[in-house]
């Protein structure tokens, strides 16, 4: 450990990384660095990636500069550290560029390999619920699934359940899907609409809560199970969320489409980072639920 690995590279066939993996270790043990290295190697091998970033540090993948010039580093340096060393920003950036150049050389890396990385992948940072990066629209997440997913009843029910749970989480309601009237009502509305091939959005969902397209839930009539006055309260809560000034950013930007997150229209593999560090716990749960639903639905449409 700590020695220059001359002629002692650790080579790992990327084809072996085709299932699940977990990286564990103590704070400061190098987990993030190791995972970033794996993602960089995957990108060089034309393997796309969708990355959920709860801490906000995976954006470092974009800090890759083939020319390793001081001007590349200057916008990202720590100015306080430069002041402590009594250096100008330009001089400190020059030191950082040289440090990186020498450090990479010790491990057999150079600017050309960085250039190869940037050439083989299209990198982007998405910030759901914010315009700090690329915004993401969640509207498509409530669209009716395709026919393949509708035919897989187990997967369809799971998607309906997680979608209903995600919406209620966003409203600050942690409920039991089997006991909560709110969850059962939402799940029935979503199932009825999707089985009819109808797309949903939050606006239409608010209206359907007030006037559901169903007359009975189980053996009870709708009014006995969930009276109109109480349904109105739920729809008002959801409407207040939709009307909040900050919520508009959830409805703008690129659609949450897994295929386009993995490859550009020209076929270039993508490294799509979803930074969620700025979101509350409820918002994180809501977005991750929607994203994983989309990924699972996309996977079921693939061959193999």
Q: For the chain, how big is the Rg over CA atoms in Å?
A: 24
Average pLDDT in the 201-206 region? 93
Six token digits for residue 239: 């409407």
Average pLDDT in the 232-250 region? 92
pLDDT exceeds cutoff 90 at 172: no
Helix (H, G, I), strand (E, B) or coil at 195: helix
Scored b (16 or more CB within 10 A) or e, 191-217 reads bebbeeeeebebeebbebbeebeeeeb
pTM for this entry = 0.84
Q: What is the pLDDT of residue 264?
A: 96
CB neighbourhood size of 52 (10 A): 15
Q: What is the pLDDT of residue 8?
A: 67
CB-CB contact of 78 with 96 (8 Å)? no
Cα separation, 250 vs 137, in Å, equals: 5
The pLDDT tens digits for 53-98 are 999 989 999 999 999 999 999 999 999 999 999 999 999 999 999 9
CB-CB contact of 273 with 121 (8 Å)? no
Q: Check the CA dihedral 60-66-70-72 and report its sign.
A: negative
pLDDT exceeds cutoff 80 at 48: yes
CA end-to-end span of the chain:
41
Six token digits for residue 133: 């990066």
Helix (H, G, I), strand (E, B) or coil at 46: coil
Average pLDDT value for the chain: 91
pLDDT exceeds cutoff 90 at 299: no
3-state DSSP percent of the chain in helix, strand and coil, to 5 = 55, 10, 35
Q: Indicate the pairing of strand 254-255 with strand 122-126.
A: unpaired
Q: What is the pLDDT of residue 108?
A: 84
Domain boundaries defined on the chain: 139-253
Cα separation, 221 vs 215, in Å, equals: 6
Q: What is the pLDDT of residue 5?
A: 53
């Amino acid at each position: 450990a700590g020695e220059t690995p001359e002629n002692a590279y650790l080579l790992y066939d990327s084809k072996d990384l085709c299932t699940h993996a977990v990286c564990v270790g103590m704070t400061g043990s190098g987990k993030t660095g190791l995972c970033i290295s794996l993602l960089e190697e995957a990108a060089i091998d034309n393997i796309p990636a969708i990355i959920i970033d709860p801490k906000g540090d995976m954006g470092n993948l974009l800090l890759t500069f083939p020319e390793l010039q001081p001007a590349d580093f200057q916008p990202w340096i720590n100015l306080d550290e430069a002041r402590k060393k009594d250096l100008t920003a330009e001089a400190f950036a020059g030191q950082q560029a040289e440090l990186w150049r020498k450090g990479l050389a010790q491990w057999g890396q150079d600017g050309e390999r960085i250039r190869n990385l940037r050439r083989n992948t299209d990198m982007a940072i998405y910030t759901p619920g914010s315009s700090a990066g690329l915004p993401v629209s969640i509207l498509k997440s409530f669209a009716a699934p395709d026919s393949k997913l509708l035919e897989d009843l187990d997967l369809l029910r799971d998607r309906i359940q997680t979608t209903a749970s995600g919406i209620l989480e966003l409203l600050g309601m942690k409920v039991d899907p089997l006991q909560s009237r709110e969850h059962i009502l939402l799940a029935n509305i979503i199932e009825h609409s999707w089985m009819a091939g109808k797309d949903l959005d939050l606006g239409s969902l608010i209206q359907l809560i007030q006037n559901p397209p169903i007359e009975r839930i189980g053996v009870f009539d709708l009014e006995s199970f969930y009276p109109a006055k109480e349904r109105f309260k739920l729809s008002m809560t959801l409407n207040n969320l939709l009307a909040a000034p900050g919520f508009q950013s959830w409805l703008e930007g690129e659609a949450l489409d897994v295929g386009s997150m993995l490859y550009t229209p020209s076929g270039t593999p993508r490294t799509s980072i979803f930074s969620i560090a700025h979101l509350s716990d409820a918002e994180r749960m809501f977005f991750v639920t929607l994203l994983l639903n989309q990924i699972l639905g996309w996977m079921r449409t693939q061959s193999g």
